Chains A and B, each alone.
Chain A
Amino acid sequence: MNVAVATPSTQLTSFWQQARWTTRIALVMALALIVTACLAPWIAPFDPNAVDLTARLQSPNAEHWLGTDHLGRDILSRLMAGTGVSLGVVAITLSVMLTLGIVIGGTAGFVGGRVDQVIMRITDVFLTFPTFVLALFMIGMLGTGLTNVVIAIALSHWAWYARIVRGIVLSLKHRDFIAAAHMAGASRTRVFVRHLLPATFSQLIVLASLDIGHIMLHVSGLSFLGLGVAAPTAEWGVMLSDARQFVWTEPLLMLWPGLALFVSVMAFNLLGDALRDRLDPHLRREHAH
């Protein structure tokens, strides 16, 4: 069960060496996205929110590489700032979702009995909602805005994770290494936190990485409808929504943010597939949503 013999850096090296070329490109793209997200305030050529009405709707040129939008804001700078928003929201949402899933699902599986029954009935109720409809409902309850998007998406997805964590915990609960920990005198909490949870991580990482693209699409979908990140913020969904009135006259405006979203989702999907093949080949068939 112990996979942590190799250090993370040697693991990454061997992952790289065994990866297909598509995985390598995806890895490079994902790293580039993360670097762009972190450095955007310094490397972006313009302030992403600086309005310049004298430079409206410019085509790509030497000064504005990707042109400007209807308020004269530099598209490239907005795309870069949008990377940070998208990745940041995804990172926070995923952490919240995983935490909820691990704590609630893990408790259900580990404690069992009536606790398990109650928790599973609650997840059942959440799973009767289509996820995007549930996210819309949560926005209706909480209002729009960045924080509320995170809460809405986390609350609409957590039940899936709780179910999966419970399943994994149930399958591991009666294995020898857990019995050994019990016999060695470890407390129930210690067995749960130190022995059971780490064993669920590799499957969870795979599932979470396969979900990144999905979450990105939901976040920008909400923003596109005007229910997510508020208007002046440079977010890809917001940019697409701004661009819609210019489909006939300035089609390039809607090309860039969509392309950025498409490429990012693709990079993370590829990475998720590669991680799954490496860490957990059994999941290949089961992950359908």
Chain B
Amino acid sequence: MASFILRRLLLLPLMLLAASALIFFMLRLGPSDPAMDYLRLSSVPPTPQALEHARIMLGLDKPLLVQYITWLKSALQLDFGVSYATQRPVLPDLLYYLPATLQLAGVALLLTLGISIPLGRWAARHQDEAPDQWVRLIAFIGVSMPNFWLGFLLVLLFSVHLGWLPPMGRGGWAHLVMPAVAIALMSLSINARLLRASMLEVKGQRHVTYARLRGLPERHVERSHVFRNALLPIITAVGMHIGELIGGTLIIESIFGWPGVGRFAVSAIFNRDYPVIQCFTLLMVTIFVVCNLIVDIIYAWADPRIRLSAEGAE
């Protein structure tokens, strides 16, 4: 177990390094000239002299590899350059908006797990009966629902008509409900479906029949023999859902006026503000990779085949 975690931890910087190289080289090999974008965003007329000056200032006259190493060196000291548009350092600005995004995505993740697990369990316990049909209907609607449209519908119902929830901004828990539901519904639906299918599959296995034959109470069989084993595929799926939740949060923030990195990043992407795009993408990748690392560790801990094999096999 310890060596498994250690190996994953060592892999982490390598993955981030590879991701940073991909981000850096794709931006540089892209169709547009960063010097031009720099001049456009700082409202300087693009005369040949100004262009030349910008190129030297941004280090674009050096070979690509040298540029990357220079960038990497300052990135390791957490200096991601200044925004072309605002001339302010990029990282502090992004970190200023990040907590709001993490809060929203985190609540959406909790909702996903907190609702999908009971739903999936309930559906599997009553296979082909009314609860199962209901869960299937909800999941079926959920996987096809555009999250930004759901956001609008919720605003329409709970803010415009009923006046129960604030339509915009960040504040107490009331502000979190609608955006978090809009983000979570799709992952929640997929998860509930997956857990249902996974539980039904485990139910048919021999160790479950054996547990029943031993005369264990049904409740105990369901909890310790079916549910625990059926959770494993869910843990893997959560790793993927985190990516979707991050993406969903970026869209939903713009509907609910949520002061997160989403709106900041969208305007930077629209303006091709390269330092911001680089730093934002790397930040999101880091969060995603770290979350997946945690998910992997939980998986290894939950699956005795991995947890116990560590001492013997490795």
Contacts and interface: CB of A to CB of B under 8 A. Distances in A.
Contact of A125 (B19, B27, B144, B281): B19
Given A247-B155, A288-B237, A262 B146 contact: yes
Nearest to B287: A130
A153 interface: no
B146 A140 contact: no
A143 interface: yes
A269 B160 contact: no
Given A130-B244, A254-B152, A285 B285 contact: no
A134 B190 CA distance: 22
Interface stretch (A34-42, A110-118, A172-180, A218-226): A218-226
Nearest to A132: B247
Interface in B42-74: none
A129 B288 contact: yes
A168 interface: no
B155 A221 contact: no
Nearest to A217: B146
Contacts, number: 154
A141 B27 contact: yes
Nearest to B249: A132
A147 to B, nearest CB: 11
Given A130-B242, A225-B251, A254 B149 contact: yes
B218 to A, nearest CB: 24
Given A126-B22, A130-B284, A288-B190, A265 B146 contact: yes
A284 B197 contact: yes
A251 B31 CA distance: 40
Nearest to B143: A269
Contacts of B27: 140-141
A266 interface: yes
Of the four ranges (under 10, 10 to 19, 20 to 34, 35 or more), the interface on chain A belongs to: 35 or more
- What is the predominant secondary structure among interface residues of chain B facing chain A? helix
Contacts of A136: 250, 265-266, 269, 281
Contact of B148 (A124, A129, A224): A224
Contacts of A284: 197
Interface residues of B, number: 59
B145 A247 contact: no
A220 B272 CA distance: 20
Contact of B19 (A129, A237, A254): A129
Interface in B226-276: 233, 236-237, 240, 242-244, 246-248, 250-251, 254-255, 265-266, 268-270, 272, 274
Given A141-B26, A258-B153, A133 B284 contact: yes
Given A125-B22, A226-B266, A285-B198, A143 B143 contact: no
A188 interface: no
B146 A244 contact: no
Contacts of A220: 146
Nearest to A288: B237
A143 B22 CA distance: 18
Contacts of B30: 141-142
Contacts of A142: 30-31
B244 A132 contact: yes
B128 to A, nearest CB: 14
B149 A240 contact: yes
Given A217-B146, A225-B251, A226-B266, A133 B285 contact: yes
Interface of A: 121, 124-126, 128-134, 136-144, 213, 217, 220-221, 224-227, 237, 240, 243-244, 247-248, 251, 254, 257-258, 261-262, 265-266, 269, 284-285, 288-289
Top-3 shortest CB links A-B: A132-B247, A130-B243, A258-B149
